[in-house]
Amino acid sequence: MQFLNRLCLVLLWLAAPLAAFAAVNKNDPYLLVLRGAGNIALVVASILVVIVLLRRGHWRSIAGMLLVLLWCLPPVLMSAAHVRFELRKHAVLSASAAEARQLGPHFMVGYSSFPEIARLAEQGLIGGVYVTRHNIRGRTIEALRAEIAALQDKRRAAGLPPLVVAADQEGGIVGHLAPPLTKVPALATLTGLAPGDQQARADEFGRIHGRELADLGVNLNLAPVLDLKPPVRRNRLDFHTLIGQRAIAADPAVVGTIASAYVRGLEESGVDATLKHFPGIGRVRDDTHHFSASLDTPVKELEATDWLPFREVLSHSRSALMVGHVTLTAVDPDRAASHSKRVVEGIIRGKWGYQGVVMTDDLVMGAIYQNDVCRAVVEAINAGVDMLLVAYDGAQFSRVFSCALDASRQGRLDAAMLRASAVRLELRSPAAQAGAVSPDGRTLGIVIPAAPRAPARGS
């Protein structure tokens, strides 16, 4: 019995700092599973431990009193973290109408609470929403359709443009709304077909996704993946990117053929595509969901391989371009491509002449969030990124938006970049798409020349 008592005390000593750490970081995306009931359970457990320690007289010794005080910390730290979170949220919700009009269109947010996202939408603090599996779990497709329609109704009532509504339906292992939507195979499954059959099937996949998403009220699909398939899975710690399973092929010509047909089917069904993840993560070893990562390949080699599908599809579509959180070391070794002016303004806008919508990958990913997220937000806006994505944990929106808000008030945002971005977003908004095509059927707004096709590699 004495041994068990000592063991329990040792465990309490070990658990106390862990409980305090969880409490002070209660709003961290890595602790998302502890929110709500988990937070309550931690507070209740801390109080119960304190009561037991006091009843057993541990307060009579210095060590015992220190242990009691340690277990008093989690409720206090959690309360302080909650207050800080609420104050930041209040500051964002108190932004002026002018600030909301200037900054709001540049943010796309995932959500769990409809009342909270509706308030952001009504105040113009966001330009888009992201719907995923937790928005459909335990609900009917009709309920989500009605919810999206209600958000758009609130925007109209507030005199604001329609929201961009995005989903992540790549096919294969990434189809966050399937079921109840149709589970479509990965585009990589088409590589063994003849080129004509590849295009026909990819077009069909795009039309299936497009029809179902448009019917739901989604107008932007975060697909297709244009990263080149790596030869082998080189990183055993890659649990989330899994690009080897998501990429279409290793041959850029095959990727361009299949992706172009898929995008065509998607667009003709009323949904825009998003090409990802520029500058390409097929060669990257580390998972940017959790770690910083570098792409060390020379630019000339990337231009002749990895970037060919991006340039090809951009040249004849109205697709958005998602920039990933990898550092393109040959161009900008000091920051990820998603907030690098040398990459966005220098290559995508300048060298390629692309004037469509550029968006970041999820800012809640570890490569950004575990570093200086405010720096990334400000630099992304100043680099000419049009839309910043906060997808996995929408609760982080207040922190991300407050970074932009503070920078705006301090005069650290590039006004010219914001104006140019506002024009691009207006041209590509759902309301403007009806007039986004010229009389001869060409998509407007993209002046990027098509890159030469790479020769097909041997089987």
For residue 447, give the H/E element and its range. none
**Rounded mean pLDDT, 384-402:** 96
Rounded CA separation 167/184 (Å): 14
Rounded CA separation 118/326 (Å): 33
* CA dihedral (336, 267, 350, 449) positive or negative: positive
Angle (deg, nearest 10), helices 415-427 and 373-383: 70
Of 188, 179, 180, nearest to 223 by C-alpha is: 188
**Residue numbers annotated as active site:** 289, 361
pLDDT at 458 over 50: no
Both tokens of residue 13?
Answer: 């000593």
* CA dihedral (180, 132, 211, 115) positive or negative: positive
Rounded CA separation 114/400 (Å): 19
**Rounded mean pLDDT, 95-113:** 97
Q: Are 130 and 142 in contact (CB under 8 A)?
A: no
Instruction: Give the CA radius of gyration of the chain.
Output: 24
Rounded CA separation 68/100 (Å): 47
pLDDT at 144 over 50: yes
C-alpha distance across the termini of the chain, in Å: 70
Residue 378 pLDDT: 98
State pTM to two decimals. 0.89
Both tokens of residue 180?
Answer: 């109840």
DSSP strands (E only) in 288-441 = 293-295, 320-323, 326-328, 358-362, 387-390
Q: Are 258 and 296 in contact (CB under 8 A)?
A: no
Banded pLDDT at 238 (limits 50, 70, 90) = low
Residue 181 pLDDT: 95
Q: Per residue in 265-302, pLDDT tens? A: 999 999 999 999 999 998 888 888 888 899 999 999 99
Of 311, 303, 310, nearest to 330 by C-alpha is: 303
Both tokens of residue 268?
Answer: 């003709």
Of 31, 320, 317, nearest to 166 by C-alpha is: 320
To the nearest whole percent, how much of the chain has pLDDT over 70?
Answer: 92
pLDDT at 237 over 90: no
Q: Is 219 left (phi over 0), alpha (psi -120 to 50) or beta?
A: alpha
**Rounded mean pLDDT, 15-43:** 92
Residue with tokens 């040792």: 10
Residue with tokens 């009220």: 217
Residue 459 pLDDT: 33
Residue 437 pLDDT: 43
To the nearest whole percent, how much of the chain has pLDDT over 90?
Answer: 79
**Rounded mean pLDDT, 371-387:** 96
Residue 241 pLDDT: 77
pLDDT at 55 over 60: yes
Banded pLDDT at 141 (limits 50, 70, 90) = very high
* CA dihedral (47, 52, 57, 63) positive or negative: negative
> Up-side HSE of residue 84: CA atoms within 13 Å toward CB?
14
